[in-house]
Amino acid sequence: MGLLSNRVERNEIKPGDHIYTYRAVFTYSHHGIFVGGSKVVHFRPERNLKAITETSSNLDDPTLGPCPTFPDCGFRQPNSGVVLSCLDCFLQNGSLYCFEYGVSPSVFIAKIRGGTCTTASSDPPESVINRAMYLLQNGFGNYDVFQNNCEDFAMYCKTGLLIIDKQGVGRSGQASSVVGAPLAAILSSPLKLLMPSPVGVATVTAGMYCMSRYATDIGVRSDVIKVAVEDLAVNLGWACLDEEATEDSNEAANREITR
């Protein structure tokens, strides 16, 4: 991996690595945890999974049909967006990239595109794989493109860090980039009156964009805590939601019985 690209070959990745690939002509990237055996655990919107499973057993590309390599490719628990896929289905013929952890602030800022690295350190591979496999069985809550997406899932598996502030952007560098770019443009717009040169304005805007990304990185944020994967549901309120759903189901069942 270099400063400009995190692209790697398949024989370079190791179990516990955070990998990703680009979709829709580099419009966005999809992230997951490589758990060994050419298999990846990743997080997807549940509604997309339901639509795909109606037409095919392959959860990453309905046009491919059943996976010819692994019978358990596409395994997931009911009502969960956490999926086990083979590496081929995860990549969908795309290139393979490896997310970097523990980079210096200068390297982080130099990488203009978000969702490629973090200053936070990774936990040991066995801890990463344990979190990924636990969440495969127990879920990762509801998918949210800004606060709980595939990159958030992979970063939690790698670090165990959870953001306390539920109102802001999650751990995802892609989400931070989406928010940071227009914010930088707005903040730098008054400088157009002071800087007649478009190059000067562009430089300042780019600097503000990079600094806004850096400020939301989990490695420097102060509103993050380490949470054991077994306690994740309680910390995020999923347990309460499950209990409420169970109570509602029981009440509906009791009403049917008494009729």
Reported confidence tier of residue 234, pLDDT bands at 50, 70, 90: confident
Determine contact, residues 213/175, Cβ cutoff 8 Å.
no
Whole-model pTM? 0.77
- Is the pLDDT at 51 greater than 70? The verdict is no
Give the pLDDT confidence of 106-160 residue by residue, as tens digits: 999 888 788 899 999 999 999 999 999 999 999 999 999 888 999 999 999 999 9
Render 19-33 in DSSP notation, one character per residue: EEEEETTTTEEEEEE
Length of the chain: 259
Q: What is the model's pLDDT at position 166?
A: 62
Sheet hosting strand 39-43, strand order edge to edge: 82-86, 39-43, 28-36, 18-23, 97-98
Q: What average pLDDT does this structure show over 224-251?
A: 71
Tell whether the model's pLDDT for residue 191 goes beyond 50: no
- Given a cut of 80, is residue 81 above it in pLDDT? yes
Looking at every residue in the chain, the average pLDDT score rounds to 79
Which positions are annotated as active-site residues?
A: 30, 42, 150
**CA distances in angstroms from 115 to 10, 69, 148, listed in the order given:** 20, 29, 14
Q: pLDDT at residue 254 above 80?
A: no
Torsion-angle region of 15 (φ positive above 0: left; ψ -120 to 50: alpha; else: beta): beta
Mean pLDDT of 33-56: 78
127 neighbors 160 (Cβ within 8 angstroms): yes
Distances (CA, A) of 77 to 45, 74, 150, 252: 13, 10, 17, 24
Q: Alpha-carbon distance 217 to 121, whole Å?
A: 12
